Amino acid sequence: MALRIIFMGTPEFSVPTLRALVDAGHEIAAVYTQPPRPGGRRGLDLQKSPLHQAAELLGIPVLTPVNFKAEEDRAEFKDFNADVAVVVAYGLLLPEAILNGTRLGCYNGHASLLPRWRGAAPIQRAIMAGDAETGMMVMQMEKGLDTGPVALTACVAIGANMTAGELHDSLMLAGARLMREAMLKLEDGDLPLTPQAEEGVLYAAKIDKAETRINFSWSSHDVHNHIRGLSPFPGAWFEMEIGGKAERVKVLETELASGMGEAGSVLDGDLTIACGSGAVRLVRLQKAGGKPMLAQDFLRGTPVVVGTRLG
């Protein structure tokens, strides 16, 4: 018998999981997502979340409470009489009244190999730390931050040049498959739960704008990981003089290279940049307000003299 599910999420990352559960024949009683936010070119239009838009196309009722402090919001959630709540990148902490508001509880699709990288930015932090592997986990939610017992795991390798955007897409699809399997097992009363290890806990703090500037005094490996961990958003950046004034340039793709020199200095005509140890080659860049472009195209419009210091 199919489950009656409340689905909770917000960004594009959550959409394939919703669709997978619909395709599996489950009844989606309602979708909860973050309220529409100002967006558009001038930031004046209210933009519905990607999950909100997907749910409307599927004909599913959508609710957008700011939080669950109001008793009527908690009561409305419980009145759906759902078997289970599925949570994927919702963006709100759930109070106990919601965690216990369905017959079988809440299950979260989390993008890391718990207990490593609990918290808000597990995809970015895994790459920035140089991890060779991460994954998706379906866990039963409890009051703590990503502390609940784990049901199912899917491991995903992190390639040496993989960006956060590429890893996001791989995990997004893996998570949809895994949650579909988890709900099938839950429906059959055969979903295993294993407590998380007490050792190896790391927290994936939200990315702060202050940490997005590239520090070329780091080793080439750390610079490379930092850049790909922030690509494509929010993007790691350096400053250089363009048209007589300092401009920010985002770096979206790099590769490790050979070379040495003063940290931040341009070593050749291919935009190889010296780091504290080793060097990186800038492969894809983006000027403020411009489109992403390959280094060769960037250099055609913005010549960079060997020896120039980037910082």
- Detail the residues annotated as belonging to a binding site for (6S)-5,6,7,8-tetrahydrofolate: 112-115
Q: In the numeric block, which tokens belong to residue 43?
A: 């930031």
Half-sphere exposure of 168 (CA within 13 A, CB side): 18
In total, the chain counts a number of residues equal to 311
- 225, with CB counted inside 10 A (0-12, 13-18, 19+), is buried
Q: In the numeric block, which tokens belong to residue 203?
A: 């927290």
Helices in 69-196 by DSSP H: which ranges? 71-79, 96-99, 122-128, 164-187
Helix (H) or strand (E) holding 106: strand 106-110
Q: In the numeric block, which tokens belong to residue 187?
A: 């429906």
All residues at 6 or more sequence positions from 268 whose CB lies less than 8 Å from its CB, including other chains:
259, 306
Question: φ, ψ for residue 135 (rounded to 5)?
Answer: 175, -175
- Closest among 215, 306, 241 to 267, alpha carbons compared: 306
What letter represents residue 38's amino acid? P
Binding-site sequence positions? 112-115
Tell me the C-alpha distance between 286 and 288, whole Å.
7
